[in-house]
Amino acid sequence: MLNKRFIEILVGMFMLAGIIALFVLAFKVSGLNMYSSKGSYHVSAIFDNIGDLKVRAPVTIAGVRVGEVSDIGINATTFKATVGFRVDKNQDKLPADTTAKILTAGIIGANYIELIPGYDEVNLKDGDVIIDTQPAIILENLISQMIYKIGGDKKESN
């Protein structure tokens, strides 16, 4: 009888550990570890095209995650996308002439922002706007341009 009870307790603990592991995995995958306003500062960037960039997308420097996208909007007068993102307070020495560009993780992966530090002696601070940006490269646009060029070359040869 004691042996059966011990096995039941052991199975119950194993099941509980499995459920806890699933919850931890769900939180890790969902990206709920948002950067708080206490541990980061807010910077914006203006882009011509953001592609499929989403809120909570990573912000990286040299491939290392230093923040995440916090908000995306459109300027009513210029019709350009304004992307706000939070950068870790540890990265408070980013020069004011930092460039932001939108890259894609792999061929069809998710978009993210890559910051390329400049050489200015003045640093970015909370509320600054990055003007020097490079928009997302849209794969469909590249394919249609390639098809148009190939079609144009055939017409010229006739």
Task: Say how far apart CA 109 and CA 111 lie, in whole Å.
Answer: 7
Segment 27-83, tens digit of pLDDT:
777 765 555 557 889 999 999 999 889 998 999 999 999 999 999 999 999 999 999
Task: For residues 105 and 60, give the distance between their C-alpha atoms in angstroms, rounded to a whole number.
Answer: 12
The residue with greater pLDDT, 50 or 136, is 50
Q: How far is CA 74 from the centre of its chain?
A: 18
Q: Which single residue is written with the structure tokens 């052991």?
A: 10
Looking at residue 115, its pLDDT comes to: 95
What is the pLDDT at residue 22?
Answer: 92
| H/E segment holding residue 27 | helix 2-30
Largest Cα separation within the chain, whole Å, is: 91
pLDDT for 35 equals: 58
Segment 82-134, tens digit of pLDDT: 999 999 988 888 999 999 999 988 777 788 999 999 999 999 999 999 999 99
Domain ranges of the chain: 1-33, 40-144
Confidence class for position 25, pLDDT limits 50, 70, 90: confident
Q: Is 126 left (phi over 0), alpha (psi -120 to 50) or beta?
A: beta
